[in-house]
Amino acid sequence: MKIFLPSRLLLIAVLVLTGLTCSGYAAERPPAAASKQVKSLTGTWYSADGVITFKANGVVEYEGKKYYYAVTNGGLIQLSREGISRGIPYHFSGGKLTLTEKGKTRVYTRK
């Protein structure tokens, strides 16, 4: 029985650590606690490049696709879809939302 005890402890430790490292992804976050940044982004934004809609339930429609999103304190909007996640730097100021992705800056406003 002593042989199985260390392996059980190792298995439990691995499961706990795996659960802790995955908890930050937007697709796995509950939409219950919306931050101030999320509340300020909620709504539909327009630019010459297209439309982006942030919903209060943690879903965003961006480039014709739906993603789960989360906003970090470091100025990133994290998009997650089908196990793939990407971060888009953003800046919110003066009623304008600026996204920078792949070297291209897009400025969005609300109507």
pLDDT digit string, tens, across residues 27-77: 444 444 446 667 788 999 999 989 999 999 999 998 889 999 999 878 899
Model confidence at 11, pLDDT cuts 50, 70, 90, reads low
Range of the domain at 90: 4-109
Spatial CB neighbours of 24, under 8 Å, sequence gap ≥ 6? 70
Please tell me the pTM assigned to this model. 0.65
The tally of domains found in the chain comes to 1
Q: What is the CATH number of the domain that holds 99?
A: 2.40.128
> Residue 48: is it exposed, middle or buried by C-beta count within 10 angstroms (0-12/13-18/19+)?
exposed
pLDDT for 27 = 44
